[in-house]
Structure 1
Amino acid sequence: MADRDAWASRLGFILAAIGSAVGLGNIWRFPYQTAEFGGAAFLVVYVLAVLVIGIPAILAEFVIGRRAEMSAIGAFEKLGRKEWTVIGAIGVFGGFWTLSYYSVVGGWVIRYLTGSFTGAYFGAPGEYFGAVSAGMDAIAFHALFMLLTVGIVAFGIEGGIEKATKVMVPAIVLLMVGLAFFAYTLPGSGPGYEFFLSPDFGVLADNLATVIPAAVGQALFSLSLGFSVMITYASYISDDKSLPVDGLSIAVVNSLIGILAGLVVFPLLASQTGEYGGAGPGAIFVSVPTALARLPLGELFGVVFFGIVLIAALSSSISLLEVVVSYLVDNHGVSRKPTTVGLGSVIFVLGLPSAWKTAWLGWFDGLAVNLILPLAVLLVVFFVGWVMADDAVDELRRGTSDLGTLGTVWLWALRTVVLLAVFGTLALSVFQFTGAPV
């Protein structure tokens, strides 16, 4: 097998992992999930999920990847645990599945970015979204978004993904901070902050059975956990890098960008419409344009906003495609560029139902976030906590000058709190997805 690609710098890895984590999960999915599940009440559970489940789980995926120095499926065989390759297979399938409908949403973003220059959606945002979100128009832009994703991944880790995310991630942060400040200056934005930052714990207590799986699923989705992305990316990390520092950096920056998205969307909506939009995949494509239509220079604001969303979407889509590409390159010795083109074409075809009808997109998303992701994370947590335990702690200590008792605390957290939390979330998700009583 030819020498594998590698990150040219630690910053390149961190930015690529943050780019994967940020994506549409924070800027597209997070606002509508927050609106649907109680505003600040959802935010509280989401932050707890990141701290209790997200950070330990991302370190679990890191130790698998770096220990094996292989992509997701091959990693378990390299570690001498061939019978556990199903974990990597579920993750690879999850990334493949998710990218098929994620690319459709990416196509919507391109469509709205081009429409922002003329304010094409200002007159009737709801009708505009209905016209462009499904059918031949959606299929065409789905194809364009996949073409962009394939183009970046085809150039590999250092030449494609690392170079792209070194530009994308800082641009996302700077533009989001600027938009958040602008939203703060708008008159009437106060109720938006209250909705997003002042939790009603009574509402939370009454709806825990629905809020918990939604918030945990969002935490996993936004951190790219369960897709085998972090296993794959970590397989390119050198031994002298501290996994705890990198994992914490990724989780914190990712969560801050999600909160920034809320600090843009909700004050903007409160100022201009007094409403937070209907829940569902099309929420920011209807509610945000409705607000933009009432702003001076709304076209310019729209170009900036949807430009950010497009950058974020691409930073995640390239990681989802890389998971599948790296498996074939590592284990079957195929050439990266034609493999990337072939897989991109298959994913495009799988996404056609979601592009043709938004109801299919909602079903694809529900299956991925409520079932595939928590199942994959549950198996990763169990494997690292109980099967790979000693090697996992040893791997966590490599590149860290003084880990102290943190490794042992992390291991037992995986074995108990994290394992039970993910199992409970998966059980609730199964009950909801199948319509069984909770």
Structure 2
Amino acid sequence: MSERETWATRAGFILAAVGSAVGLGNIWQFPFKTAEFGGASFLIVYLIAAVAIGLPAILAEFVIGRRSNLNAISAFKKLGYPGWRFVGVLGLFTGFWILSYYSVVGGWVLRYIYGSLTGAYFADSAAYFGEVSMGLGALALHAVFMTLVVGIVAAGIEDGIEKATKLMVPSIVVILIGLAAWAFTLPNAGAGYAYFLSPDWSQFQLTVEFTPLPSFGGPLAEIIPFAVGQAFFSLSLGMGAMITYASYIDGDESLLGDGVTIVTLNTFVGVLAGLVVFPLLFAQNVDPATSGAGAVFVSIASAFGDLPAGQILGAVFFIVVLIAALSSAISLLEVVVSYVIDNYALSRPQAAVALGTPIFLLGIPSAMNTAWLTWFDNLAYQLLLPLSVLSILLFVGWVFARSALDEIRRGAAIGKGASSAWLWAVRLVVPIGVVLTLLLGIQTLFVGGAIVPPL
């Protein structure tokens, strides 16, 4: 096994982790989930979940990664708990699962950059999405996107991932700020801001019945699993990504400081994306509540088609989405590549190609039919992510607690009181929220029939 790579700079780690977090989860998933579940009501639950659940959870993953300096599976053996390797396996599988359909959406983005420049979707955006979102064309662009991801990961940590994210993340922020400033000038933008930022308090209702098992009702029962799942998805939690990235840290940086920076920047970009998307939709009288994974593509494409300079603006927007998609996708592939490099006699390029291929193959159903993509996405949001995060929290909070406290205090200006509060949050407070999310997600999957694949 060759000497393990590390980040060249602390900024490189932070930007790579932010890049992992700031992806399609912010610019594709966040607006359409927000629209589907009531606008600002969803936003509030998401923001609470990102801070109260996401921050403690991301620190738990950092502790495992930096303490072990190994991948998400081998870390548990090195830490002295080989029986807990199933936690890493679950995270690795979850990332593998998500990247398979995430890459398909990345292929859509490539197509929409071209469609913007040519004006191909301006006449009928819904029909255009139907043509490009599934079939052999979508499969080919899925392959192109995965090839780009494999190429970046194959180049290595410092020369590939770190250099790419140092360019990608600032580009995303700068261009989104410019687009948000432009969106502010659009007619009826105020209605978009009101939809996005003014909550409907009647949706904050949650009822519980015991018949004899607990059954949840009310609008909040639908919002919670998707809002918390969005926090997990957009922060790359439960996928092994943050364990893997933290394993490349070579120093005593403040994990707390890094975690706060990453969560803050990630949340900022998600909200910024909403400040672009919703004014744009309301300016063109496009209904934001259209459901489905392609809603943002159809709605935004329709809006750009009616705007002056829509071809250029559309291309710029989808270039931002592409950069975000790549920055997250490389982190998901790195999770499995890291495991193979740490344990088998394969070079990084060989491992990237060997693992990128089966991920591409798993994504074929999603490329051929969007019903499959929705099924993959529902299982990831409502089952795999909360289950994986819960497993990490239980390990760090109850099994690895003493060493976790040592690690979180290492290099950080954090006292015993604050670190102990974090540990008890990981032990009790956050798991309760994740268990509620998991129960609501399971209820939705089984009662709504979403657990059944679209055969």
Same fold (TM over 0.5): yes
**Aligned-partner residue type, residue 123 of structure 1:** A
Q: Which residue matches 1:153?
A: 153
1:307 aligned residue: 319
Residue 416 of structure 1: how far off its partner (Å): 1.0
Residue 209 (1) aligns with residue 208 (2): no
Structure 1 residue 255: Cα displacement: 0.3
Answering whether residue 375 of structure 2 is matched by residue 360 of structure 1, we say: no
Asked whether the 8 Å contact 1:277–1:286 carries over to 2, the reply is no
2:340 paired with 1:328? yes
Tell me, in whole angstroms, the C-alpha distance in 1 between the residues paired with 2:425 and 2:345. Answer: 38
Question: Quick one: which amino acid aligns to residue 243 of structure 2?
Answer: I
Among 253, 277, 281, which residue is 2:265 paired with? 253
SS of residue matched to 1:117: helix
**Structure 2 counterparts to residues 327-406 of structure 1, below 5 A:** 327-406=339-418
Q: Distance in 1 between matches of 2:440 and 2:64?
A: 28
Residue number in structure 2 paired with 1:114 = 114
* Contact 1:277–1:287 (8 Å) recurs in 2: no
Once the two structures are overlaid, the 10-residue window that deviates more, 45-54 or 399-408, is 399-408
Partner of 2:453: none
1:137-161 Cα deviation digits (max 9, x unpaired): 1001000000000000001110100
Shift of 1:369: 1.3
| Equivalent residue runs for 1:5-404 within 5 Å | 5-205=5-205, 206-404=218-416
User: Which residue type is aligned with residue 326 of structure 1?
Assistant: S
User: Aligned partners of 1:68 and 1:170: how far apart in 2?
Assistant: 30
> Where does 1:419-430 land on structure 2 (aligned, <5 Å)?
419-430=431-442
Q: Residue deviations 1:199-254, cap 9 Å, x none? A: 01112324011101110000000000000100000001123100000000000000
2:452 is matched with none
TM-superposed CA distance for 1:403, in Å, is 3.0
Distance 1:164 1:239 in 2: 22
Name the amino acid aligned to 2:344: H
Q: 1:72-110: CA deviations, max 9, x gaps?
A: 000000001000000000000011111000000000000
State how far apart, in whole Å, the 2-side matches of 1:402 and 1:64 are.
Answer: 18
Q: Confirm or deny: 8 A CA contact 2:40 2:197 kept in the other structure.
A: yes
Contact kept, 8 Å, 1:135 with 1:356, in 2: the verdict is yes
**SS of residue matched to 1:186:** coil
Q: Which residue of 1 aligns with 2:447?
A: 435
Q: Is the 8 A contact 2:149 2:326 kept in 1?
A: yes
Opposite residue 260 of structure 1, the aligned amino acid is L
- Contact kept? 1:193, 1:267, Cα under 8 Å: yes
Give the Å deviation of 1:375: 0.3
SS for the counterpart of 1:72 is: coil
Q: Which amino acid aligns with 1:80?
A: G
* Residue identity opposite 1:264 in structure 2: V
Q: Is the 8 A contact 2:49 2:227 kept in 1?
A: yes
Q: CA RMSD for the aligned pairs?
A: 1.0
- Check whether the contact 2:286–2:299 (CA below 8 A) recurs between aligned residues: no
SS of the equivalent of 1:199 reads coil
Q: Identical aligned pairs, as a percentage?
A: 59
Distance 1:318 1:327 in 2: 14
Counterparts of 1:229 and 1:96 in 2: how far apart (Å)?
11
TM-score by length of 2: 0.95
| CA offset digits 1:305-324 (Å, max 9, x no partner) | 00000000000000000000
Instruction: Name the amino acid aligned to 1:120.
Output: A
- Can you list the C-alpha shifts for 1:312-356, whole angstroms capped at 9, x where unaligned? 000000000000000000122321101111111111111000000
CA deviation after TM superposition for structure 1 residue 275, in Å:
2.0
Q: Give the residue type in structure 2 aligned to 1:37.
A: F
CA distance in 2, matches of 1:125, 1:53: 37
Q: Secondary structure at the match of 1:405?
A: helix
Count of paired positions = 437
Aligned partner letter, 2:107: G
1:253-278: CA deviation from partner (whole Å, max 9, x where unpaired): 00000000100000000011242151
Amino acid of the structure 2 residue aligned with 1:279: S
**Deviations 1:272-297 (CA, angstroms, capped at 9, x unpaired):** 12421512110111000110011000
Answer whether contact 1:277 1:284 (CA < 8 A) is retained: no
Q: Is the 8 A contact 1:101 1:364 kept in 2?
A: yes
Cα deviation 1:344-375 (Å, max 9, x = unaligned)? 11111110000000000000111111111100
CA distance in 2 between partners of 1:121 and 1:409 (Å):
52
What are structure 2's unaligned runs of at least 5 residues?
Answer: 206-217, 450-455
